[in-house]
Structure formats: structure tokens, C-alpha cells
Chain A
């Protein structure tokens, strides 16, 4: 999808108005919505019908990677230079527990954070954002306002603006 934005963005003071507008927009066929809010709200996720994030798969992959690396380095290093300790087996699995656990945790956390950044960048690149001065100067979405960006064709601008105004948007801006 091209990143050149064409559509409407609006801000809302109240969450219930905002969620009603989202539901109506989706019902009217506008599915590629981007919302902005000061904090995550379940009401918004439900109104958008967002699917679950795939982050946990990366976490699991990190855990397996860490576990495998820990097992490999401990087995290899123990066999590479045999260091007998108090008659214990040379390769002893019970003593590997702490390091296996710690490296599994370490790698799963790093995989989680890298996937988090990667997925956020990917999703934001897939959705176009307004570029006008009004958008750039607007800073209340991290303060106390809820925002929605509706990409649409020139033909749909009036329809979208009508829906947004119907639910008492505080400010509505169109960019085409």
C-alpha cells in the first residue's frame, strides 16, 4: 500500500463516542482504521475487532533458542576440558538447571523485545498517516484525547466526515 495519505482524521473527548464512531465506520466498510489513545483500552480493541498479537510465538522461539544454546555450551565446554568435581558425572544434567533457566529467560526476553519493535514498525509502515500541519501540531493524543485515522478515497470523504461528526467528534480534518 502507498504511504501517501488520503482520508480523514478526527479527535474525540469521550471514549464512548469514540467507540461508537469506530463501530459505525467498520459497519460502513472502513476496515483499515488506525486509532490513537493516551492508554490502551479494551473498549477500543473490541470496537476494532483487532486480532491477537503474534509476539508470544517469538517469545517461545527465544526460550527454545536460549535453552538450546545453554545446553550446547555447557555440554561442549564440560567435555572439551574434563574437570572432575567430587566424583560427580562429567556431564551432569541436574547442575545445568540454573543456567538453562537463566539463558532461556534471557533469550525469550530479547526475542520478545526485538519482535515488539519489529511488529510495531511493520504495522505502522503498512498504515498511512496524515502529513498536514494540523496533524503535526496536534499533541493531545498522548494527553487526554482519542484519535482515529480513516484512509479513504476522495469519493468517501463526505461520508466518513458525516459519521465522525455524528458521534460528536471534537475536531475533524480531511487530507486528500
Chain B
């Protein structure tokens, strides 16, 4: 960041907040079409029931729960980058954390939709909340599904607050660089922040605490999501390695999504190239390599445990995954998650934007396949051959899935145009301050 100054950071951020151009509107039209089709499909499902989804007996959890786990996983990297990397003072965090946090918030907002879509009668969603209902029954606190309600809602609240707290000083920057109605708007949402020593003192202490509190939350949320599966007795689910396996997978997919979003952002706004440097992208690639190795190890150890435990239902299930009716999903998962990141061991490829972008897309696909494998193949092949089943995709769930990508992208596109997508205050903090003594050297 040798050419970067306090003032140039403001200018680069303000450049990204200029009124959107034709390409933004064209992209938004595609995104809204995807979202519109998703809403139409959801409306169809409300009218006709769950026949539009591939859910059947015995596969009661299908694409919707796959999507839920996938989006919660995507939502992991943002808080990891903003909280964990803040605590360990990782230098590559500063330039990428704002967009990653936004990604987290929008991904968890997307994930939170899927349990509601999955329950079918969405208007009864409040049965999940502990409230004094007319039958005087309470929710069952022994169920991991209820733990998940608490975990995901807490994670969403904390992620949103962490995101907004980080934005307040940057809104003040935009306020002071704007005129007219824009100034009024950013004046309101910056809560009168001025950057006084009193404000910074409380702000920095609170931010550090946020990071410290959010760090165990990162690890707890996907562990609790994994207990939705691991607490049951179904072969392929009932395993103790699920929490670390899920957490590593979530960080793996989240880092890939960060690259998928940041590489185009860096290409669209020229000033961002000085700030989001290639070494930051390379650091993300190294995190992908590390977490990808853990994920690959978890895949292999699952097979080993199935063999070594002698449990015949486990063995049957792990034979079914690579050689059964749904084998295509297993091999796609294995290729995308275990093979496709391997070129990143080469520094040339790790620092090549095209290679990084393609690999990040493949990992996103692979991680969706992983969740599909876990959710569906286990239910399709449990203890009793009489109860085995097959999953057939239906158009409603496909469009709702595509719609979820539209929903996520819509928020991200709006974010890029109304909020500073790089953290102005922290970028300035990371720079060498302007010193008269440095001018004389």
C-alpha cells in the first residue's frame, strides 16, 4: 500500500459509492429475475404443499436443509476473518474483512430462510420459539434442533451488530465527504460519530470485546449445526468428528466465497487494487489449502472409521456413497473439495486471479455437494433395506435454490453501492501515520 494515504483511502471508497452504471443495473436485473423465480416457486409450494420438492419417505431432509447448512457455512468466514484474525492481528485481514462481514450477514440471512421454507407451513414458524402457548407446552430443550435455533439467531444478531459497529466510523467519513440529502442520510446512520478521543476509547475496547466474544461463536455455531446430524443414530451422521469437520468445511467454503466476491470487486473498482493486494488474496488461498486439507482428512477418516469400527450399517452407507445411486454427487464433491484446490500449492497459480476465481467457484460447488451428500445419502440408505430411497430433484426446490443466490447477491450488490466496502478506519490505522519527522528523512 505504498501509494496509499489517508486521503486516497477516502477517495477510493467514495469512488465505489458513486451512482451505479449500466453493468450494475444489468446484473441487478438478472439477480432480481432469479429472486423473482425463487419467490414464485415458494408461492407455488405454499399453494400446493411439499410435492414440489424432492423430499420423500425416507428422505425427509433434502435440498432445503442442504442449502441451510451451505449458507450457514458460507457465513462462517466473515466472522472468522473479522474476529479471529483481528485478535491475532493478521495483516491481510484489514483490506478484506468488511466485504467478508457483509457476506456473512447476507449468507446467514439467506440460511435463516431455509428452515422456514423447509417446514412447509411457514406461518407456524413461531412454534420453534419458547412462548407460553395455549396447550401450556414448552419447546424441548433436549433437542439439538432447538439449540440450532438459538445458535443461528445469536450468530445472526452478533454478525449484524459486529458489521454495523464497524461501519459507524466509515459512515461518518462518507457523511463528511457528501452534500445535501446524502449527507443527511449518512449523518443519521453514523449516529453523530465524530472520531473524538472519548469515542475511540470506548469504541476500540468494545470492538476488541466483540471480537473476543465472536471468536468462540464462530466455532460453536457450525458445531451445533453438526449436532443436528451427529446427535441422531443414522449411519453417516452419528459420528464424533462432525463438529471440527463442519467448522473446517465452513471456513473452507467461506474463504472460497470471499475470493468469489472480492476478485470481481477488485477488478471493477481500480482504486481497490492498491488496497486489496495480491498477497491478501494469496493469504486467503493458503487458508483454503489448510482447511481443504482438514476437510480431505475428514472425508478419508470417515471411511476408515466405517471400516475399522466394524459397524455394518456404517460400512454399508460408506459403500453406498461412492458406488450407490447417488455416486455422482460424491465424486463431484471429492473432485471439487480435495483435488481442485491442489494447484494452489503452486505460488504462480495462487497469485493468478483467474485460477483463484475458478478454484473458488469449484469449491463453492463442491461444498454444496458435500452437504447434499451428508444430508441425503445417509437418509437414503439407513438401517432397513425396505426403507431405502432415492432423491429426485424437483423444479420448485431448484428455483428456490437459485432464488437464494439471487437474494444473497441482491443484498451484496446493494451493499457495494451504499456502504463502504472496505474498512476506511482500519485501513488508515494500518498505514504509517503522517509524521513531520518522516518528511525530513
Contacts and interface: CB of A to CB of B under 8 A. Distances in A.
Interface of A: 13-17, 33-41, 43-45, 48, 50, 52-53, 55-56, 59, 73-74, 77-78, 80-81, 83, 85, 88, 92, 95-96, 98-99, 101-103, 105-106, 108-110, 112-113, 115-117, 119-120, 123-124, 127, 139-144, 168
B436 A142 contact: no
* Residue of A33, A101, A108 most packed against chain B (CB within 10 A): A101
Contacts of B205: 52-53, 55-56
B195 A36 contact: yes
B150 A98 contact: yes
A4 B186 CA distance: 27
Contacts of A50: 197, 201
B296 interface: no
Contacts of A43: 433
A77 B130 contact: yes
Given A39-B428, A95-B142, A59 B165 contact: no
Contacts of A74: 141
A48 B195 CA distance: 15
A48 B201 CA distance: 11
Interface string B212-229: 010011001000100100
Interface of B: 5-7, 10, 130, 136-142, 144, 146-147, 150-151, 154, 157-158, 161, 165, 169, 172-173, 175-177, 191-206, 209-210, 213, 216-217, 220, 224, 227, 425-426, 428-429, 433-437, 439
A16 B436 contact: yes
Contacts of B194: 36, 124, 141-142
Interface SS of B by simple majority: helix
B199 to A, nearest CB: 5
A47 to B, nearest CB: 10
Nearest to B144: A98
B131 to A, nearest CB: 10
A55 B209 contact: yes
Contacts of A59: 209, 213
A102 B151 contact: yes
B197 A44 contact: yes
Closest A-B pairs by Cβ, 7 of them: A123-B198, A77-B138, A144-B6, A39-B428, A53-B205, A98-B147, A40-B200
Nearest to A40: B200
Contacts of B220: 98, 101-102
A44 B195 CA distance: 12
A39 B142 CA distance: 47
A124 B199 contact: yes
Nearest to A60: B209
Contacts of B227: 98
Best-buried of A13, A14, A33, A96 by chain B (most CB within 10 Å): A14
Given A55-B202, A105-B154, A73 B130 contact: yes
B185 to A, nearest CB: 16
B203 A116 contact: yes
